[in-house]
Amino acid sequence: MPHHDLVIIGSGSGNSLLTPELEGLDVAIVEKGTFGGTCLNVGCIPTKMFVVPADRVEDARDARRLGLTFAAPTVDWPAIRDRIFGRIDPISAGGEAYRTGQDHVTLYRTRARFTGERRLALDTGEELTADRVVVASGSRPNGLDVDGLRHADPTTGVHTSDTVMRLDTLPARMAVIGGGFVACELAHVFASLGVEVTQVQRSATLLTHEEVEVAHRYTEVARDRYDLRLTTRVTAAERVDGVWRLTTEGPAGVGHVEAEAVLLAVGRRPNTDLLDPAAGGLEVDDDGLLVVDDELRTTAPGVWALGDICSSHQLKHVANHEARVVAHNLAVDTGRLAGEPRRLDGRPVPHAVFGHPQVASFGPTAAQLEEAGTAFVSKTQAFGDVAYGWALEDTTGLLTIHADPSGHVLAAHVIGPHASTVIQPLIQAASFGQKAIDVAREQYWIHPALAEVVENALLGLPLEA
């Protein structure tokens, strides 16, 4: 039975744990799927690479408001797809080759489950033991509890984000089920590239976790671009002659959607159920996440966790930060580094939706602040009221800032061009406890740049004297 100093389950952010401080440890990496994890292969990176050409199409269509017109785009789907994965696949293969070429690393291309304290059974029939284990095995897309759609099967045209980006050809029609960031980004991509998209969302708006006005504005833009069915759920599905016929229930009663392809984008679930965590002494919470403390230790001695398996955020930048915490704590625990363990520090966690327009946010919404009884003040600044917003002829973009009455930034919510970049100064302000008035007045803001949206919003907060 092989014994290792450290076993890492998962090759996404878990692969970055092997810092110089851990050099020389006998390490095993257990990975069943594509090396490199979700973000690299089926998540953040390829989706944004598809978003870029989709944005170009929408920019060209929107240019008529600026007095420009362009011919309809010619979309070469295989060229787009192959350009993207022609860059990504070699990175995955190279990362795997690098690890297998290291004398102190053993890569097991299989799945692991706990059978005891730091004891793992592999699907190959082998068993491993270890002094320390890190669980970084991520999450996977949910199915939909409807006959025909419970399990995605690309051969029948039912996809998740894991498979839809590698389609052989673009379908004439696609039904996108869901209203979160994955659904909205991919609906934007395929609608822009010429697919007739119908998006089915059970709630009254898309992006329901965003600030109300942000969600409302995004929903209205989407409604103008493709067929959007709100407050609607899929109740049945059948495939006849290569076409899916979805039966829906909504405000108008029973309806139908027909499409050659279906994209299930109804959330993700942590892979804890594949690990048999109880056998290893690892507790799981009501959401299926491994329970960890602020050092990212699980309830089992010598076992840490990071990423989607223990975090509700399901964000790569969160997993990367957690990997740095765990790497440091492993080095301290093994005596290779002096000092104290690091802890999660409660810094604001931002996120972005790369749809059209972009959305970005961190911190609570106004409704959440009110529910918590938190005193706050707010300012909403329209993109169209600053000079560069005029140049863009923007009618949708806005930034809302919530701050405590003394001027410390609590939250920011943005919709509009480059929202994921516009929000960054506010993330910094909240992370370092900077006051809004200092951020606004103690630096120059380039005129006429879009960042003046942030400056004007900060200056407009009704703060205590």
Domains of the chain: 3-139+269-333 (3.50.50.60), 154-266 (3.50.50.60), 357-459 (3.30.390.30)
Q: Tell me which residue of 387, 417, 406, 413 sits closest to 465, measured CA to CA.
A: 406
| Residue position matching structure tokens 């994209």 | 263
pLDDT at 160 over 90: yes
% of the chain surpassing 70 pLDDT:
100
Give the pLDDT confidence score for residue 168 in this predicted structure.
Answer: 97
The angle at the Cα of 379, spanning 374 to 382, to the nearest 5 degrees, equals 145
Strands (E), 117-260: 119-122, 127-135, 139-141, 158-159, 173-177, 196-200, 227-229, 233-240, 243-250, 253-259
The rounded distance, in Å, linking the Cα atoms of 450 and 434 is 21
Give the pLDDT confidence score for residue 465 in this predicted structure.
Answer: 63
Q: Which of helix, strand or coil describes residue 254? A: strand
Report the catalytic residues: 447
Burial label, 383 (beta-carbon count in 10 A; 0-12, 13-18, 19+): buried
**355-409 tens-digit pLDDT:** 999 999 999 999 999 999 999 999 999 999 999 999 999 999 999 999 999 999 9
Q: Which of helix, strand or coil describes residue 94? A: helix
**273-287 tens-digit pLDDT:** 999 999 999 999 999
Q: How many CB atoms sit inside 10 A of residue 53's CB? A: 18
Does the model's pTM come out above 0.75?
yes
Give the pLDDT confidence score for residue 371 in this predicted structure.
Answer: 98
